[in-house]
């Protein structure tokens, strides 16, 4: 056969009367004459017209939903509705048969719950094909954004001995016998006999290592898998997910907020410019799904309107203290409609509070800053209301998005050695094990800042999907590690 052409390219072609070759999977075959063929490059199928009168009946029976075929034929203007061109087949080759009796993806609507059970096949549906093309575009846009700004992409370790968040919810990596590991004299597992000669885990963040790069290369970013051993069965949590983490030397909290807002707007704009067909499909899908919901639970804007709205508006920037005042005086709090009531300063904000601020109060993305030090990580820079006098807050920031809640978390990092070591002692983080991190404060320290963006939450927001398990190919969640 001649060289294969992708269907997305062919549908834009005006070269009728030429011989073309396409390959893909049959979506439908009707009247023994019309094949709807799709190759994943677009959700739009191309129609293949079969000369059934001159085709072996045994071959016709092989043209079933799901079968993989190659088609060579003439591209002609279509007489039917819904497409501008179609292919008059001269030759069809079946690469892989598909038994329509047992193939799970029949040409009908399937629930997302059902499709999660056959995640290895759900790429073949319009919804998931659109989601993963958008995911690709967003990933590419992330790299393009940082590359164009002169950032250096670094790969931080997936296996690490440090807990960047201090939460302890980490997956252990070991080659020791799980039933009878070697024990030391104190009756504890002897990790000196393990592969790395010490306890090791899957990383929860590449931030600490990225800081090392930033304090030499000035601007770096990571984009890689991270892991949390949280037993969270929610629509917003995964045990394995991807994180984007830039770190910038000579930057403060204001610079950090500006960079994060610029990045989010850039990648959303890139997706809208390059995935218009897929986003319109997902927007229509969301509207169809919401028809069965009560009016007050439906989205106020379509998916594409919501994305345009985020691009058109500056993100609202308020302090944690201002947010607490708004929440404490809000109707849901006064009427005790919040699951977690806000009584006073120091509360750790929950998703319901974040979404109230974004969706009900400001009605646009919000950046919260200057959180209480007690609820934030050890590496965040302490605010000094008076010069040299530590205050109760840190130079932290979270970006909150509608429907998602927190999508970005970051801070100016504590560059002062004495403050950092004091905080580590307070939180029982062993200094001797973190010597490499502290060395960056001993040798040529400077103000620096960074943040983490949960990539799946970004994809969730841009695609309008409602469950994070539907925006990653093979979700890892409590009790689930298939494929």
Beta strand 219-227 with 152-153 is parallel
d(CA 469, CA 131): 12
Q: What is the pLDDT of residue 390?
A: 80
CB atoms closer than 10 angstroms to residue 126: 17
Q: What is the pLDDT of residue 164?
A: 64
Q: What is the pLDDT of residue 292?
A: 86
Q: What is the pLDDT of residue 385?
A: 81
Beta strand 172-173 with 152-153 is unpaired
Q: What is the pLDDT of residue 210?
A: 97
**C-alpha 102: how far from chain center:** 33
Q: What is the pLDDT of residue 165?
A: 64
pTM, rounded to two decimals? 0.94
Q: What is the pLDDT of residue 167?
A: 56
d(CA 19, CA 25): 20
d(CA 106, CA 18): 33
Cβ distance 16 to 75 under 8 Å? yes
Strands (E), 413-477: 448-454
d(CA 175, CA 172): 10
Residues contacting 204, CB < 8 A, separation 6+: 163, 164, 165, 167, 169, 170, 226, 227, 228
Length of the chain: 483
Domain ranges of the chain: 7-107, 124-169+204-315+364-470
- Rg of the chain over Cα atoms, rounded to whole angstroms, equals 27
Residues 441-478, buried b or exposed e (16+ Cβ, 10 A)?
A: beeebebbbbbbbbbbbbbbbbbbbeebbbbbeebbbe
Q: What is the pLDDT of residue 387?
A: 76
Per-residue pLDDT of the chain (483 residues; tens, 9 = 90+): 568 999 999 998 778 999 999 999 999 999 999 999 999 999 999 999 999 999 999 999 999 999 999 999 999 998 877 788 999 999 999 999 999 999 999 888 899 999 999 999 999 999 999 999 999 999 999 999 999 999 999 999 999 987 766 555 899 999 999 999 999 999 999 999 999 999 999 999 999 999 999 999 999 999 999 999 988 888 888 999 999 999 999 999 999 999 999 999 999 999 999 999 999 999 999 999 888 888 877 887 899 999 998 999 999 999 999 999 999 999 999 999 999 999 999 999 998 999 999 989 999 999 999 999 999 999 999 999 877 778 899 999 999 998 888 999 999 999 999 999 999 999 988 899 899 999 999 999 999 999 999 999 999 999 999 999 999 999 999 998 888
Looking at the chain, the number of H-run helices and the number of E-run strands are 14, 16
The residue written with tokens 């979270």 in the block is 398
CB atoms closer than 10 angstroms to residue 30: 9
Q: Which CATH architecture has domain 124-169+204-315+364-470?
A: 2-Layer Sandwich (3.30)
CB atoms closer than 10 angstroms to residue 175: 10
Cβ distance 223 to 242 under 8 Å? yes
Which CATH number does 7-107 carry? 2.40.50.140
Q: What is the pLDDT of residue 255?
A: 98
Strands (E), 78-112: 85-96
Q: What is the pLDDT of residue 44?
A: 95
């Amino acid at each position: 056969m001649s060289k294969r052409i992708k269907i997305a390219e062919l549908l834009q072609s005006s070269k009728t009367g030429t011989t073309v070759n396409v390959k893909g999977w049959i979506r439908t075959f009707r009247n023994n004459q019309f094949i709807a063929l799709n190759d994943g490059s677009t959700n739009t199928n191309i129609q293949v017209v079969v000369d059934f009168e001159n085709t072996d009946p045994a071959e016709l029976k092989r043209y079933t939903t799901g079968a993989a075929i190659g088609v060579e034929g003439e591209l002609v203007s279509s007489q039917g509705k819904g497409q501008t061109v179609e292919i008059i087949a001269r030759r069809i080759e079946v690469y892989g048969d598909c038994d329509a009796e047992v193939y799970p993806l029949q040409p009908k609507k399937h629930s997302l719950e059902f499709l999660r059970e056959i995640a290895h096949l759900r790429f073949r549906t319009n919804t998931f094909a659109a989601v993963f093309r958008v995911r690709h575009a967003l990933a590419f846009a992330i790299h393009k954004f940082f590359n164009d700004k002169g950032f250096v992409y670094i790969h931080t370790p997936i296996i690490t001995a440090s807990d960047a968040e201090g939460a302890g919810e980490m997956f252990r990596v070991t080659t020791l016998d799980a039933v009878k590991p070697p024990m030391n004299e104190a009756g504890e597992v002897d990790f000196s006999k393990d592969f790395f000669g010490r306890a090791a885990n899957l990383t929860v963040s590449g931030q600490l290592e990225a800081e090392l790069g930033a304090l030499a290369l000035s601007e770096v970013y990571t984009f890689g898998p991270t892991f949390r051993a949280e037993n969270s069965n929610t629509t917003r949590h995964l045990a394995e997910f991807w994180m984007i983490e830039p770190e910038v030397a000579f930057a403060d909290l204001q610079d950090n907020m500006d960079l994060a807002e610029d990045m989010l707007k850039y990648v959303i704009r890139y997706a809208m410019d390059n995935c218009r067909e897929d986003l319109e499909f997902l927007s229509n899908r969301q509207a169809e799904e919401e028809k069965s919901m009560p009016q007050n639970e439906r989205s106020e804007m379509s998916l594409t309107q919501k994305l345009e709205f985020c691009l058109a508006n500056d993100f609202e920037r308020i302090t944690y203290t201002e947010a607490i005042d708004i929440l404490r005086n809000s109707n849901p709090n006064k009427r005790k409609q919040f699951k977690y009531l806000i009584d006073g300063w120091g509360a750790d904000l929950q998703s319901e509070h974040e979404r109230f601020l974004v969706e009900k109060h400001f009605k646009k993305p919000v950046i919260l800053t200057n959180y209480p030090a007690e609820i934030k990580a050890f590496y965040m820079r302490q605010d000094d209301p008076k010069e040299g006098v530590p205050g109760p807050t840190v130079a932290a920031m979270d970006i909150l998005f509608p429907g998602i809640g927190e999508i970005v978390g970051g801070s100016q990092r504590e560059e002062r050695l004495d403050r950092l070591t004091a905080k580590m002692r307070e939180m029982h983080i062993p200094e001797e094990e973190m010597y490499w991190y502290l060395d960056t404060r001993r040798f040529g320290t400077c103000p620096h800042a960074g943040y983490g963006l949960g990539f799946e939450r970004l994809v969730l927001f841009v695609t309008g999907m409602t469950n994070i398990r539907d925006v990653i190919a093979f979700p890892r969640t409590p009790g689930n590690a298939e494929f």
